[in-house]
Amino acid sequence: MEEHISTEPRINERIHVNEVRLVGPAGEQVGIVRIEDALRLAREADLDLVEVAPMARPPVAKLMDYGKFKYEAAQKARESRRNQTNTVIKEMKLRPKIDSHDYETKKGHVVRFLKAGDKVKITIMFRGREQSRPELGFNLLKKLADDVAEDGFIESAPKQDGRNMLMVLSPTRKKSEARVEVEAAKAARAADRAASAEEERRQEAELRAAAHAAAQPKKKRGPADNMDPDIDL
């Protein structure tokens, strides 16, 4: 049975009816019982009697730990909000006769937005006589879509909007997946930095040890040091 807790659920003595259809704490159907008996069962089980379907005839009430129920519901709501993906639409503006260097720069920004899991609205701005050449904007948008096809796809096809031409690109990956990849990349970079720092510390320790050994005074050789140790004196 699907449960619906109203905004102001009636609990225990706040349930002003003669009888209820009672549901046990594990979801089992107890049946229609008098409200006095339902309240007695709630007290004996140290649980709350909560009206979950007040519009039913008779109303449906359930035995539950209402405090625990509210806590778990709040936890689920927080988890749902945490996992919810917020769609962000970035915007990139281009001119129909953009030069190759600016185009590559703008394309790089579009790719970065798509890799981050964001949508991108591409706006081609026409000025003066350019408005009589809509094919310039259309061809530029098609070229851009082809160039970033690995990271995004056309969600909204090119269309004229006054003096501008618009197109919307959507990322091929979800924002959550992009976030995981970004976090993994950050962890990898942190591990590389830690490894480099450890290698630098090792090299410094070796240099200090070598410098310390070189600074030690050498022992002067005496006459006995030059003798064959196997010769008996």
pLDDT of residue 177: 64
Kindly state whether residues 149 and 108 are assigned to the same domain.
yes
- Structure confidence by residue, pLDDT tens digits, 37-87: 888 988 988 998 888 888 888 889 999 898 888 888 888 888 877 766 566
**Which uninterrupted H or E stretch holds 125?**
strand 119-125
187 located within any domain: no
Query: Residue 48's domain spans which residues?
Result: 12-76
pLDDT of residue 198: 81
Buried b (16+ CB within 10 A) or exposed e, 136-155: bbbebbeebbeebeebbebe
User: Which residue from 93, 121, 116, 120 is spatially nearest to 105, judged by alpha carbons?
Assistant: 93
68 located within any domain: yes
Distance, CA of 125 to CA of 7 (rounded, Å): 51
192 located within any domain: no
- Kindly state the average pLDDT of the residues 7-33: 77
Kindly state whether residues 72 and 93 are assigned to the same domain.
no
226 located within any domain: no
Buried b (16+ CB within 10 A) or exposed e, 92-118: eebbbebeeeebeebbeebbebbbbbb
- Structure confidence by residue, pLDDT tens digits, 209-223: 777 777 776 666 655
Length of the chain: 233
pLDDT of residue 178: 61
Tokens describing residue 178: 């992009």
Kindly state whether residues 63 and 112 are assigned to the same domain.
no
Whether pTM exceeds 0.95: no
More confidently predicted of 230 and 60: 60
Secondary structure of residue 21 in the 3-state scheme:
strand
Kindly state whether residues 21 and 67 are assigned to the same domain.
yes
Kindly state whether residues 51 and 26 are assigned to the same domain.
yes
Kindly state whether residues 72 and 130 are assigned to the same domain.
no
pLDDT band at 164 (very low <50, low <70, confident <90, very high): very high
pLDDT of residue 12: 61
178 located within any domain: no
182 located within any domain: no
Write the CATH number for 115.
3.30.110.10
The count of domains in the chain is 2
Kindly state whether residues 25 and 95 are assigned to the same domain.
no
Neighbour order of strands in the sheet with 152-161? 89-94, 119-125, 164-171, 152-161
pLDDT of residue 180: 63
pLDDT band at 2 (very low <50, low <70, confident <90, very high): very low
Kindly state whether residues 69 and 110 are assigned to the same domain.
no
Write the CATH number for 16.
3.10.20.80
